[in-house]
């Protein structure tokens, strides 16, 4: 067995460190296993082609005079690689110097500043002096898509964008035009990219040659905070980084997850979140007093709501939940519904067009435009199409549904209408109480994606006013009702409670989910997720 394994692997040294890698691995990957990140531009682990044309990853094979590109150099037994020999370092410096021959050095107005691989490597290689004494070529600015601008002056012709479109998106719409020092990236004249995954070319661009038009000049790299998250746009659940500035989301970037979205995400996901969270927010608890909703503090609000709940217990009713709610929110809502004797928990999922990324079968823009439709179902909800309705005298509890398709008088004749939500839509103004909660970007939590993968997301923004996560709010209601343990104050405990109380999450813990998520044991074949995967 060991011999078989030995035949399938090779052992080499990189900068003196021995590593064993699968046969056929490029040296650049072997180097990473040895803890060395060889600088590179054209090589990208998510793009299947490596043209070895940027020449940045040249390394020295000990004993051989000619440097070799490590992205295509295959690791061999006994090879000794020097990534930082004097020749290799000088070659790298020369690449930087060549790249800067015609580069405009417009960092002060370039969005990539602070997150630019040209800047980074210029510092790393200590190539801080240029001998160029010539006028620079000026090539202006081009629009390659309605929302993506291209600056040929900054372009280093690494062709990552071209190869992403051709080899991952299977849409050969971006090409290199002309040749030599007159090269630039272009579409067919008069046409623009309209692929649903075109935004990824901005992410792969090592420099600021490709920029999103709706991000241009919006935020500097060092002004932004980042949080690890999951895109709530559809049931795929692409892993993302949420970039914020001054408590606003300014950008989403995909985060690598080999099981879900590789290195990519769709444009719908990138954009819709930035436009979301508009509208009036619920910021303080409101309780109906003298016919009007009056603001009050949490303690009073929770006391009075608990009292009303005791009074209407057993009246029947319906809970209307948003499929964008986190698993923890849904679990505690389920507990509350159970206490009230409400068996109907409904959710509606908006749908839209689909789009696939041929190079990554698991990554699609799926029809279900909900972050946690699967979680909602697994935690006791039922998917419905009809608008919400409640019979007179019954209880209506709403968890964060915007009630857009609800009749205006929804809940007016309800025995008790409790609105737990982040926003304050018109339909909620008939509620007996409004408990303000954090929107997903303002809290920690988990979503379950189309295949049952439970993935964590983390707080990126401060909630407004005194809004709090729904699980925190509802657990304290339950505490007052004597129907649960003590109020939950941290996400680990919230998740633990949900995992203990539902088959969908059993066997998982907040910590065990890590940053790439896991499929709950026993949930490997999620039938209903299959139905929602369309």
Partner 1 sequence: MSFPHRHELETTTILSQYHGDAEARTLAGWLERGGYERLRTAAMMEPDEITGVVKDSGLRGRGGAGFPTGLKWSFMPKDDGKPHYLCCNADESEPGAFKDREILRWTPHLLIEGCMIAARAIRAEHVYIYVRGEFFPYTRILNEAVTEAYDGGYLGDDVMGTGWTCDVTVHAGAGAYIAGEETGLMNSLMGDRAEPWMKPPFPAQAGVFGLPTTVNNVETLATVPGILEHGAEWYRQWGTEKSPGTKLWCCSGHLAKPGNYELALGVPLEDIIYDVCGGTPNGKTVRAVIPGGSSTAFLTADELDCATTYEGLQEVGSSLGTASPIVMDESTCLLRAMRRVAQFYAHESCGQCVQCREGTAWVARILERIEAGDGELRDIDTLYELCVQMTGRTICVLADSVVFPLRSSLDKFRDEYEAHIRTGSCTAR
Partner 2 sequence: MSRRIHPAVAAAQPFQLAERDEIQGPLLGTPEGSERLEMVLSRYPEKRAALLPLLSFAQEKRGWVSPSDMEEVAAALDLTPAYVHSIATFYTMYNKHPVGRHLVQVCTCISCHLNRGDEVLDAFLREVGAREGEISADGDFTVIEAECLGACGFATVVQVNDEYFEDVTPEGVAAIVSELRSRE
183 binds partner 1 (CB under 8 A): yes
98 binds partner 1 (CB under 8 A): yes
Q: With respect to partner 2, which residue has the nearer C-beta, 15 or 192?
A: 192
58 binds partner 1 (CB under 8 A): yes
Spatial contact of 476 and 335, defined as CB atoms under 8 Å apart = no
Q: Would you give the DSSP letter of residue 362?
A: T
Instruction: Name the CA dihedral angle for 67, 73, 74, 79, rounded to a multiple of 10 degrees.
Output: 10
Instruction: Tell me the closest approach of the beta carbon of residue 205 to partner 2, in angstroms.
Output: 18
Indicate which single residue of 9, 13, 33, 55 sits in contact with partner 1 (rule: CB under 8 A): 55
Interface with partner 2 by CB under 8 A: which residues? 171-179, 186-191
With CB under 5 to 8 Å by kind, the binding choice for 173 among partner 1, partner 2, none is: partner 2
63 binds partner 1 (CB under 8 A): no
With CB under 5 to 8 Å by kind, the binding choice for 55 among partner 2, partner 1, none is: partner 1
With CB under 5 to 8 Å by kind, the binding choice for 101 among partner 1, partner 2, none is: partner 1
Instruction: Tell me the closest approach of the beta carbon of residue 179 to partner 2, in angstroms.
Output: 5
Between the two ends of the chain, the Cα-to-Cα distance in Å is 43
With CB under 8 A as the rule, give the number of residues binding partner 1: 33
94 binds partner 1 (CB under 8 A): yes
Give the x-and-dash track for 64-93 against partner 1 (CB under 8 A). Answer: -xxx-x--x-----------------xx--
Strands across the sheet with 453-457, in order?
445-448, 453-457, 518-519
Give the x-and-dash track for 126-155 against partner 1 (CB under 8 A). Answer: -----xxxx---------------------
With CB under 5 to 8 Å by kind, the binding choice for 189 among partner 1, partner 2, none is: partner 2
178 binds partner 1 (CB under 8 A): yes
Range 441-445, long-range pairs (CB < 8 A, 24+ positions): 441/227, 441/229, 441/242, 441/244, 441/249, 441/273, 441/277, 442/467, 442/469, 443/326, 443/469, 443/491, 444/469, 444/491, 445/326, 445/327, 445/328, 445/329, 445/469, 445/471, 445/491, 445/494
Q: Strand pairing partners for 289?
A: 292
105 binds partner 1 (CB under 8 A): no
With CB under 5 to 8 Å by kind, the binding choice for 188 among partner 1, partner 2, none is: partner 2
With CB under 5 to 8 Å by kind, the binding choice for 52 among partner 1, partner 2, none is: partner 1
Instruction: Tell me the closest approach of the beta carbon of residue 499 to partner 1, in angstroms.
Output: 51
Question: Shortest CA distance to 374 belongs to which of 215, 250, 527?
Answer: 527
241 binds partner 1 (CB under 8 A): no
Instruction: Tell me the closest approach of the beta carbon of residue 68 to partner 1, in angstroms.
Output: 9
- Give the whole-angstrom CA distance, residue 302 versus residue 3: 67
- Give the whole-angstrom CA distance, residue 440 versus residue 423: 12
Q: With respect to partner 1, which residue has the nearer C-beta, 4 or 133?
A: 133
Give buried/exposed letters for 287-304 (b at 16+ CB in 10 A, else e).
bbeeeebeebebeebbeb
With CB under 5 to 8 Å by kind, the binding choice for 186 among partner 2, partner 1, none is: partner 2
- Give the whole-angstrom CA distance, residue 322 versus residue 380: 13
Supply angle C-alpha 434, 440, 446, rounded to 5.
120
Place of tokens 């909900």: 370
Spatial contact of 220 and 290, defined as CB atoms under 8 Å apart = no
With CB under 5 to 8 Å by kind, the binding choice for 353 among partner 2, partner 1, none is: none
Q: Strand pairing partners for 421?
A: 436
Spatial contact of 410 and 428, defined as CB atoms under 8 Å apart = no
Task: Give the pair of three-digit tokens for residue 176.
Answer: 């290199």
With CB under 5 to 8 Å by kind, the binding choice for 7 among partner 1, partner 2, none is: none
Instruction: Tell me the closest approach of the beta carbon of residue 166 to partner 2, in angstroms.
Output: 8
Q: With respect to partner 2, which residue has the nearer C-beta, 122 or 174?
A: 174
Q: With respect to partner 1, which residue has the nearer C-beta, 159 or 262?
A: 159
Task: Give the pair of three-digit tokens for residue 459.
Answer: 């707080």
* Sole window of 29-37, 125-133, 213-221, 354-362 interacting with partner 1 (rule: CB under 8 A): 125-133
157 binds partner 1 (CB under 8 A): yes
Residues with Cβ within 8 Å of residue 335, at least 6 apart in sequence: 474, 478, 483, 484, 501
353 binds partner 1 (CB under 8 A): no
Q: Which parts of this chain interact with partner 1 (CB under 8 A)?
A: 51-55, 58, 65-67, 69, 72, 90-91, 94-95, 97-99, 101-102, 131-134, 156-157, 176, 178-183
């Amino acid at each position: 067995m060991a011999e078989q394994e030995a035949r399938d692997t090779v052992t080499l040294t990189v900068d003196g460190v021995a590593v064993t890698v699968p046969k056929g691995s490029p040296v650049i990957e072997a180097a990473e296993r040895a803890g060395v990140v060889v600088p590179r531009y054209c090589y990208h682990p998510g793009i299947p082609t490596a043209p070895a044309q940027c020449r940045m990853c040249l390394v020295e094979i000990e004993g051989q005079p000619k440097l070799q590109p490590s992205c295509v150099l295959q690791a061999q037994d006994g090879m000794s690689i020097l990534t930082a020999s004097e020749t290799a370092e000088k070659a790298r410096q020369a690449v930087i110097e060549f790249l800067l021959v015609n580069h405009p050095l417009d960092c002060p107005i370039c969005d990539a500043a602070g997150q630019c691989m040209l800047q980074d490597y210029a510092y790393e290689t200590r190539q801080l002096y240029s001998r160029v004494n010539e006028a620079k070529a000026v090539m202006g600015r081009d629009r390659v898509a309605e929302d993506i601008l291209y600056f040929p002056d900054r372009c280093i012709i690494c062709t990552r964008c071209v190869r992403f479109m051709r080899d991952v998106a299977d849409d050969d719409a971006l090409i290199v035009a002309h040749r030599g020092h007159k090269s630039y990236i272009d579409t067919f004249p008069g046409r623009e990219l309209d692929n649903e995954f075109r935004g990824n070319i901005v992410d792969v661009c090592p420099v600021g040659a490709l920029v999103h038009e709706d991000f241009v000049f919006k935020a500097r790299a060092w002004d932004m905070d980042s949080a690890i998250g999951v895109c709530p746009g559809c049931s795929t659940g692409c892993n993302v980084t949420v970039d914020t500035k001054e408590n606003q989301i300014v950008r989403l970037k995909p985060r690598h997850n080999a099981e879900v979205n590789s290195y990519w995400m769709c444009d719908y996901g990138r954009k819709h979140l930035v436009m979301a969270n508009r509208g009036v927010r619920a910021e303080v608890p409101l309780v109906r007093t003298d016919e009007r909703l009056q603001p009050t503090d949490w303690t009073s609000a929770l006391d009075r709501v608990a009292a009303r709940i005791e009074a209407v217990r057993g009246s029947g009713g319906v809970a209307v939940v948003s499929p964008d709610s986190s698993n923890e929110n849904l679990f505690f809502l389920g507990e509350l519904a159970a206490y009230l004797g409400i068996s109907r928990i409904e959710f509606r999922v908006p749908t839209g067009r689909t789009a696939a990324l041929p190079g990554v079968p698991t990554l699609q823009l799926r029809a279900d435009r909900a972050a946690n439709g699967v979680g909602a179902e697994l935690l006791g909800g039922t998917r419905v199409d009809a608008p919400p309705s409640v019979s007179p005298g019954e209880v209506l509890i709403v968890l964060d549904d915007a009630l857009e398709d609800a009749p205006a008088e929804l809940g007016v004749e309800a025995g008790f209408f409790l609105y737990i939500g982040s926003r304050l839509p018109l339909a909620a103004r008939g509620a007996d109480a409004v408990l303000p909660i954090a929107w997903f970007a303002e809290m920690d939590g988990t979503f379950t994606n189309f295949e049952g993968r439970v993935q964590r997301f983390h707080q990126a923004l401060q909630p407004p006013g005194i809004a709090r996560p729904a699980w925190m709010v509802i657990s304290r209601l339950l505490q007052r009702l004597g129907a649960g343990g003590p109020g939950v104050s941290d996400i680990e405990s919230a998740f633990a409670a949900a995992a203990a109380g539902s088959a969908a999450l059993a066997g998982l813990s907040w910590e065990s989910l890590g940053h790439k998520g896991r499929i709950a044991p026993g949930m490997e074949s999620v039938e209903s997720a299959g139905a929602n995967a369309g």
